[in-house]
């Protein structure tokens, strides 16, 4: 995520994050994240 512009120190334990993505085709407990929003900052992963 740091290569996409989300600094490591911007994610803290207990902090809320919103993720946009879709479920993995073969593993029901996994997803592919497309976008992560932490606070007011949104990072596109694709």
Q: How confident is the model at residue 46 (pLDDT cuts 50, 70, 90)?
A: confident
pLDDT band at residue 22, thresholds of 50, 70 and 90? very high
pLDDT of 1 strictly over 80: no
How many independent structural domains does the chain possess?
A: 1
- 22: its two tokens: 């879709």
pLDDT at res. 21: 94
Q: What's the token pair of residue 24?
A: 């993995």
Task: State which residues form the domain around 32.
Answer: 2-44
* Residue whose structure tokens are 């900052």: 41
pLDDT of 29 reads: 93
Rounded to an integer, the average pLDDT of 12-38 is 91
Identify which has the larger pLDDT, 33 or 7: 33
């Amino acid at each position: 995520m740091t290569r996409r512009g989300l600094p490591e120190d911007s994610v803290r334990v207990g902090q809320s994050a919103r993720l946009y993505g879709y479920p993995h085709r073969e593993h029901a407990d996994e997803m592919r994240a497309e976008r992560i929003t932490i606070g007011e900052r949104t990072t596109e992963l694709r």
